[in-house]
Structure 1
């Protein structure tokens, strides 16, 4: 077995930091106190949560479970963008997490030797498809290291009321050319309308994941589709010209000039949208609860695909997938492992658990007893899929390292401040050349 010291020495875990779907900060919060229950025979649960925006909901759910069962559940939430370093630190302590997360096959490589085999457990049997499981080796070996606990979508969140004030509806936007036409017109009439097209594409660390991870998924996805692959050790950058066009749109038809984006945060962007300073806000289904809790009306909101001018845009759906996989720590005690499995099963089968995950957290959970979500972004994704629109898959989980993302983010920030061909060349180099460099480092 790979020892903890060996993991630290290789630096493998540091090579693939998870990037959260949130602009949240480290809550450092927990429910239930120190690991270990009043009745030691029951075991206890320590869940290291990846998603800051769902911290309060997890704390409440853990409290309910403890009240109902007497089993202690501790939830600690890592700061946005710092999950992997927090996990490394916590796994090196006594009383390590019994339940933690990986973002997909690349992230699992760092932790697979700590993964309890979930095959044949109640929570695995609840999955609607074993496509939502990560296996070690071929499926017939029945070694399930991780299971997805939520499916999410992202795209352009739209304030339909503002769009209609500008003289348009979402039916007018079915391609990149349509989006550019509408956005340019709205931005041109900003003083007349009192709002512009896009919220700030902030490149502060609380916001830049939307562009160096989620937006850049688009050219990666289309390159993979074109080449018939699902990952690569050397990206070509086939669709970087289209990536430049959509990023240009974000930084020109925006609430702030490109030179100011370096300091703009995720909260800035959300606040601009909630205060009706912009029509479009690139983000995901996880933002629904925040927006509606802050006073926005569900009937004024929808989500459309991120168009970049590639593929069959007339049938393009939202970008849908997951980077949220549960892993049970097999180094935990037998009692704590059982307590953790019981908690997971309760979360995805009980009325309290499925209601919290569907309504409070805004998840689509891929389990048989899941409660349907009332999240309008989730409903839109389901409607588009049922109508034959093809969802764009999440391919950013194949990015070679967090350092690759950081280099790309730095180049994008420089380009936003001074959008020259020379500065875009630096973006291309960060995307293409650094992919190969970081892939080789991560796999050496």
Structure 2
């Protein structure tokens, strides 16, 4: 099957909001009305699980309809989905990350043509369409960007040190500039009061996706653009693996943490290091603001710039913007429960409480017309919108057509071995290039 790579997300980025995840269940307040059906959402975004639980409880309180929200542990969503689908009361609402997931779960995805979430999309071309019927089966509920989140105070302090490579963040527009700044910060870390320029590159399951997926995508997307690739390819060349190595090496050398300790470092560790002012740069995305805010950071203290790795003309490059979060309805669920889920999603994107939960509590940007006047307090979303309004060429989310989860897992393992010094970079190259073709053949033919 050929899967379209979705890289142009201009229209959707113009609003403000998006959705997230949840743990627990919302059945408090008014007794649930079983005759109206019930909702079961299996969520994949732990960082907003509390927000989902809160709004699920509120919906149940208002309508009497039971809304259960369970959140899969980081890195385990596919396994959790398989397990939950096998139960007598499976999820009525679930998430897919893109075309490859759609093919895997095509027997469960319902036609969304007549749903409010599809009708309210500003750009319906962004929906996942069934390869067999052409009908929409997945609606992106969040448009997100990732890059290098930076601490404005630390960067400002650095610009005043002797021999500073830049005068302001605007001067950082290439890998050479980024490396000069990071090396300078590492050299003056005691003076700056930091432990390293970059937060720890953790390789436990809560953090590894930042590298084997998001960082790898920077090289992957540029190769796709160069070669005019618009569908999932059977093989890749690894054209920009040297540049991929550039940025990864910088993360390792100018870090808060020795490379030998990275295997057990978590995303919470990186979040804490950044929030406490131990590091100036933190590779993550717009979704990270909830955790940073909860850790005590002020909105006016953070910004976000593109990830530079030495690619051609990268001074014209913007943030990596796209969606890997699609709402899907389980067509195998009880019809009454499917209808209840449709009504819940309608309420989420049209009611003031639902919209505020998504835009303000979760801090996301969505592609729905109903959010045109909704504003967010998320400073990283503000950075995304500023980037969207610029002439920068945004990096697409080409990782959504990776041939399998195993491709990412094997790449992550090879990167960790390289980081720890137990294997060379050739292992990363093999995992990146050779394993792509191997996994494509294993999963497509």
Give the whole-Å Cα distance in 2 for the aligned partners of 1:267 and 1:296: 14
Give the number of aligned pairs.
Answer: 412
**What does residue 26 of structure 2 align with?**
31
Superposed CA deviations along residues 236-292 of structure 1, whole A, max 9, x for unmatched, are 100000000000000001111212212211111111111111100001111112112
1:43-442 matches, cutoff 5 A: 43-137=37-131, 143-167=135-159, 168-195=167-194, 196-230=196-230, 231-370=232-371, 371-418=374-421, 423-442=424-443
Corresponding residue SS for 2:441:
helix
Q: Tell me, in whole angstroms, the C-alpha distance in 1 between the residues paired with 2:362 and 2:312.
A: 32
Once structures 1 and 2 are overlaid, which stretch shifts more, 145-154 or 257-266?
257-266
- The Cα offsets for residues 127-177 of structure 1, whole Å up to 9 and x where unpaired, read as 111122111138xx5511111111111100000100111114211201111
Determine if contact 1:154/1:283 at 8 Å carries over to the other structure. yes
Contact 1:234 1:432 in 2 (8 A): yes
Distance 1:203 1:238 in 2: 25
Partner SS, residue 47 of structure 1? strand
- Conserved? CA contact 1:149–1:366, under 8 Å: yes
Greater shift, 337-346 or 401-410, is seen at: 401-410
Task: Flag the 1:405–1:275 CA change in 2: closer, same or farther, 3 A.
Answer: same
Corresponding position of 1:23: none
Deviation track 1:40-66 (CA, whole Å, cap 9, x = no partner) reads: 331111111111111111111111111
Task: Give the 3-state SS of the residue equivalent to 1:216 in structure 2.
Answer: helix
The runs of 4+ residues in structure 1 deviating greater than 6 Å are none
- Give the distance between the partners of 1:401 and 1:272, measured in 2 at CA: 32
CA drift at 1:214: 0.6
Task: Please report the TM-score for the alignment, with normalisation by the length of structure 2.
Answer: 0.90
Q: Is the 8 A contact 2:90 2:333 kept in 1?
A: yes
Greater RCO, CA 8 A, separation 6+: 2
Does structure 1 conserve the Cα–Cα contact (< 8 Å) formed by 2:32 and 2:60? no
Q: Distance in 2 between matches of 1:428 and 1:336?
A: 47
Q: Work out whether residues 200 and 268 of structure 1, in 8 Å CA contact, stay in contact via their aligned partners in 2.
A: yes
Larger displacement relative to structure 2 (310-319 or 408-417): 310-319
Contact kept, 8 Å, 2:41 with 2:91, in 1: the verdict is yes
Unpaired stretches in structure 2, ≥5 consecutive residues: 1-20, 160-166
How big is the alpha-carbon RMSD for the aligned residues of Structure 1 and Structure 2?
1.6
Q: CA deviation at 1:28?
A: 5.6
Provide the residue aligned with 1:15 in structure 2.
none
TM-score (ref. length: structure 1):
0.90
